[in-house]
């Protein structure tokens, strides 16, 4: 069976690795070069996109920002999962907010902005400070502003106006202003849904971000107070989209109440820990779902932390001497802040995990791996 993935980055790479034991042949469409490639070896095939679609048994995506003509072509084949509506929702915050409103899944109060009067209305209605985000083309903290005082309105609006003006009639640009919510922590739920509506949901994960980029995720904490809220939100959203594949939902935890921050219609960075922490990883379960195979076991096997490697060409080899540490590399050229790979650390219990993170913190500098030492200390308390 052949699976075509739109996008040829690290997520396609890890799906290819997960698919091999299932006898799934995974090929990828590089949106930038418009070539069909092998997502692991980088081999470029002479096949056209049209031919790849014809020969694929199923088609999926590793990211949301897919050109509309490519997305439409794939959807017309009736082989594309999770479907056009899901991809559009994940790639446009305006559509995402509409889905949250429709399904009555809670999020921060917001105001849609297409002109300066809307920004002024947001300040009046929501108060300050505001988190302002582009509805399209924003990821990993890009395309965002923080408005803390009225004096910033003119300056921020000038930058926002440039983004809005860059939109077109067929692809308009819009912006969302959200009330800044003081939250206790960030968490995410990841689950897979198959073509028959069956689901396999992974344990709630606690996430640490630095400058808008995920740096650390931990699975296995006691989240019993809020986990059902996350499962309910996932279920409502997945059912509304008639979703097939892995869906990630990120939340703010506000004193025990979860508010959705973002939806990602794909395998997700905060689920990379499932490679070592679960019986069946998010990558394998995504392929199982789109290929029509039974979903795998998503229960926790080991408490696990995932550490992102950002902008580093390598890690100290001594890291691999720590028990139950596994490294995953993406085969990318080095750029500052770029996601180069990740490290998964597993343990039998949280105290043991804390000890292993403390051991790693002596090898991985805080400047490059923020929050590692703090998390290790919290797990040992």
Mean per-residue pLDDT, 18-23: 97
**pLDDT above 70 for 141:** no
Q: Considering only CA atoms, which of 30, 22, 25 is closest in space to residue 49? A: 30
Structure tokens at 194: 């198959």
Selected residue with higher pLDDT from 139 and 91: 91
| Secondary structure string (H, E, C) spanning 309-349 | EECCCCCCHHHHHCCCEEEEECCCCCCCCCEEEEEEEEECC
Question: Which residue has tokens 């993935």?
Answer: 5
Selected residue with higher pLDDT from 287 and 163: 287
Identify the pLDDT of residue 191.
Answer: 98
User: How buried is 7 (Cβ within 10 angstroms: 0-12 exposed, 13-18 middle, 19+ buried)?
Assistant: buried
Give the chain's mean pLDDT. Answer: 95
Phi then psi dihedrals of residue 290, to 5 deg: -75, -25
Question: Please, are residues 273 and 308 in contact by the beta-carbon 8 Å criterion?
Answer: no
Q: With cut-offs at 50, 70 and 90, classify the pLDDT of residue 144.
A: confident
Structure tokens at 173: 């640009």
Q: With cut-offs at 50, 70 and 90, classify the pLDDT of residue 29.
A: very high
Sequential DSSP letters for 25-39: EEEEEETTTTEEE-T
Identify the pLDDT of residue 140.
Answer: 54
**pLDDT above 90 for 139:** no
Which domains can be identified in the chain, with CATH numbers? 2-80 (3.40.50.20), 109-179 (3.30.1490.20), 185-380 (3.30.470.20)
Question: Which residue has tokens 């960075």?
Answer: 269
Structure tokens at 178: 């959200």
Identify the pLDDT of residue 120.
Answer: 92
E-only strand ranges, the chain: 2-6, 25-30, 35-37, 44-45, 58-61, 110-113, 130-134, 144-147, 175-179, 185-193, 199-201, 205-210, 213-219, 245-254, 257-264, 303-310, 325-329, 339-347
Give the number of other Cβ atoms within 10 Å of residue 146's Cβ.
12
Mean per-residue pLDDT, 76-82: 97
Q: Considering only CA atoms, which of 369, 358, 360 is closest in space to residue 326? A: 360
Identify the pLDDT of residue 380.
Answer: 81
Mean per-residue pLDDT, 355-365: 96
Identify the pLDDT of residue 306.
Answer: 98
Identify the pLDDT of residue 169.
Answer: 82
Percent of the chain at pLDDT exceeding 70 = 99
Structure confidence by residue, pLDDT tens digits, 161-219:
988 998 888 888 999 999 999 999 999 999 999 999 999 999 999 999 998 899 999 99
Identify the pLDDT of residue 138.
Answer: 60
């Amino acid at each position: 069976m052949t699976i075509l993935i739109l996008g040829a980055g690290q997520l396609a790479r890890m799906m290819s690795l997960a698919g091999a034991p299932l006898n799934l042949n995974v090929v990828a469409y590089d949106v930038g070069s418009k070539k069909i490639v092998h997502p692991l070896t980088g081999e470029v095939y002479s096949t056209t996109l049209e031919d790849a679609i014809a020969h694929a048994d199923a088609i999926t995506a590793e990211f949301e920002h897919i050109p509309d003509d490519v997305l439409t072509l794939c959807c017309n084949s009736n082989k594309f999962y999770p479907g056009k509506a899901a991809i559009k929702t994940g790639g446009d915050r305006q559509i995402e907010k509409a889905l949250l409103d429709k399904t009555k899944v809670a999020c921060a109060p917001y105001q849609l902005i297409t002109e300066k009067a809307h920004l002024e209305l947001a300040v009046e209605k929501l108060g300050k400070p505001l988190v302002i985000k582009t509805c399209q083309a924003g990821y990993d903290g890009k395309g965002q502003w923080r408005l803390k005082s009225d004096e910033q309105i003119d300056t921020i609006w000038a930058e926002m106006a440039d983004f809005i003006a860059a939109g077109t009639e067929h692809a308009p640009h819009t912006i969302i202003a959200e009330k800044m919510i003081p939250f206790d922590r960030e968490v995410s739920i990841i689950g897979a849904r198959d073509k028959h509506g069956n689901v396999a949901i992974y344990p709630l994960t606690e996430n640490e971000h630095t400058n808008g980029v995920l740096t650390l995720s931990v699975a296995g904490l006691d989240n019993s107070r809020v986990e059902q809220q996350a499962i309910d939100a996932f279920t409502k959203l997945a059912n509304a989209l008639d979703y097939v594949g892995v869906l990630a939902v990120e939340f703010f935890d506000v004193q025990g109440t979860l508010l959705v921050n973002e939806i990602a219609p794909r395998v997700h960075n905060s689920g990379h820990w499932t490679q070592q922490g679960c019986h069946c990883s998010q990558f394998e379960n995504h392929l199982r779902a789109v290929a029509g195979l039974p979903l795998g076991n998503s229960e926790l096997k080991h408490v696990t932390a995932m550490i992102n490697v950002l902008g580093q060409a390598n890690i100290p080899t001594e890291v691999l001497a720590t028990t139950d540490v596994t490294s995953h590399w993406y085969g990318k050229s080095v750029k500052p802040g770029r996601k180069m790979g990740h490290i998964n650390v597993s343990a039998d219990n949280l105290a043991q995990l804390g000890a292993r993170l403390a051991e790693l913190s002596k090898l991985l500098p805080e400047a490059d791996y923020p929050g590692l030492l703090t998390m290790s200390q919290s797990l040992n308390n």
